[in-house]
Structure 1
Amino acid sequence: MLRVRVIPCLQLLNENLVKTVCFKKPGYIGDFINTARIFNELEVDEMCVLGIRNTKQNRAPDFQVLQHLANECFMPLSYGGGINSFEMGKEILAMGYEKLVVNSHNFQDLKLIERLAGHFGRQSVVVSIDVKKNWRGKQLVYSESGQRKTTLTAEKWAMELESAGAGEILLTSIDAEGTWEGFDVELTRNVTKSVSIPVIAHGGAGNIDHVREVVKKGGASAVALGSMVVYQKKDMGVLVNFPDRQELLNALST
């Protein structure tokens, strides 16, 4: 069994699975139910589903779609995208999801994290941090699908979210997301050194060596994969897949 969690991270836009590059130009992947069934057959240990554009478009999660996914999937699920109230989070967890991923609402009110963590436990609350370099090369946190810039650094924001009750961080480099060129290892390392909770590295994976690097050099506790698990290879067609477990085990054991 893999000591480091390797998690397929899927993007849901309306009722379709898509994949973006640097948070732009979502390309169609396929039907969410068929994709879920394939990951069941591949026996993945965990899966993350993100409803992109929900907050930006002031749209609530599609609870019917989420229920279909929960009914179909055998593995533990986490969901994020448009969660802005305790009641909404409670309803999603009641469907069978194990974790909630909260991002944009945190900039308005950290009490949602506090309340969710207090009621369901910290292990149920994942906070998502999206980071992009400005023209000076400084890494800044963004919200609303990477559209709204803040003045926060990832390290400072991560510490605030941990203090509020977050149990885990999903850390995404917007600049690397969907590029296949590797994780932002420096960003990951800076955040992992700033907090004591697990950090899931996300954005940029193109091969198993990238996974190994962000774990060994970046200190990531887990890795989320997007393009690698929905495409054959870079610039090739859709193929839902998962890396060879023995190769992953070998890479992460050395």
Structure 2
Amino acid sequence: MLAKRIIPCLDVKDGRVVKGVNFVNLRDAGDPVELAALYDREGADEIVFLDISASNEGRATMIEVVKQTAGEIAIPFTVGGGISQVDDMKRILRAGADKIGINTAAVLNPALISDGARRFGSQCIVVAVDAKYNELWGEWEVYTHGGRKPSGIKALDWVKEAESRGAGEILLTSMDADGTKDGFDLPLTSAVSSLVGIPVIASGGAGKTSDFYDVFTEGKADAALAATIFHYKEISVPDLKQDLKSKGVEIR
């Protein structure tokens, strides 16, 4: 079994880290380069940057942020947001990112996954999936455009397709749990983890150390991503790792 990974997430808007609840009510959480360097020192396994505004101006900002961050950290980092073609991937990787996160663009053009995997290798391609429970269907639906648009696509169908097209990882965010601090969405995470053979990063809902234990054991996640609890110093990465180790979870 692979050791589990702890991944702080930096949602970047106009060059600053922000965080909200259920994808709204954003508040400032600091400078992305400084936060990334802090998490590197604290022993985080990876960092994820998401350019949540993803305007042309935002992407220009993100390239600069990626370059600065690459000079400050030694751990892998993934960058997503506004990446809609292979050339965008190349620019972000050249700026110093290790992996590319794609979400809306991949749903609109699934060939982007295959094209990116062929060009840069599957290990570089992280397909981010924002999923929300659909009461009518009795299962989860994929949302695009930063969680604003329902796609009409079932999340379980989409993760299978993403894997078949060459995705190296799934970054799975539960929109229902996002920012609530009530725990990860275990039914969603378990369903996806049981379905695909590639690593699943669980995201949305972390509030206490036991939530991470639950998502690794019940949710079968390979990695867990969080933002609010790390940014606002509610839990530190070293304390979290120590707690998980004491419970028998293999941590990097």
TM (norm. structure 2) is 0.91
1:97, 1:58 → 2: CA distance?
19
- More displaced stretch, 102-111 vs 131-140: 131-140
Deviation at 1:99, TM superposition (A): 0.6
The structure with the largest helix share of the pair is 2
**Counterpart residue number, 2:157:** 156
Q: What's the RMSD between the two structures over aligned residues?
A: 2.0
2:32, 2:249 → 1: CA distance?
33
Deviation at 1:222, TM superposition (A): 0.9
Stretches of structure 1 that go unaligned for 5 or more consecutive residues are 234-239
Ranges of 4+ aligned residues in structure 1 off by more than 3 Å: 57-61, 134-138
Q: How many pairs does the alignment contain?
A: 246
The answer to whether the Cα contact below 8 Å between 1:177 and 1:202 also exists between their aligned partners in 2 is yes
The answer to whether the Cα contact below 8 Å between 1:171 and 1:202 also exists between their aligned partners in 2 is yes
Deviation at 1:58, TM superposition (A): 9.2
**Counterpart residue number, 2:59:** 60
TM (norm. structure 1) is 0.90
Deviations 1:178-226 (A, max 9, x none): 1110000000111112211111100001112111111111111111111
- SS of alignment partner, residue 219 of structure 2: coil
The answer to whether the Cα contact below 8 Å between 1:61 and 1:82 also exists between their aligned partners in 2 is no
1:140 aligns with 2:136: no
2:73, 2:90 → 1: CA distance?
19
Pick closer, same or farther for the CA change 1:127–1:252 going to 2, 3 Å: farther
- SS of alignment partner, residue 54 of structure 2: coil
The answer to whether the Cα contact below 8 Å between 1:5 and 1:222 also exists between their aligned partners in 2 is yes
**Counterpart residue number, 2:83:** 83
Stretches of structure 2 that go unaligned for 5 or more consecutive residues are none
The answer to whether the Cα contact below 8 Å between 1:51 and 1:61 also exists between their aligned partners in 2 is no
Identity of aligned residues (%): 36
Alignment of 1:70-149 (within 5 A): 70-134=70-134, 136=136, 138-149=139-150
2:37, 2:233 → 1: CA distance?
18
The answer to whether the Cα contact below 8 Å between 2:36 and 2:47 also exists between their aligned partners in 1 is no
1:13, 1:212 → 2: CA distance?
30
Counterpart residue type for residue 222 of structure 2: S
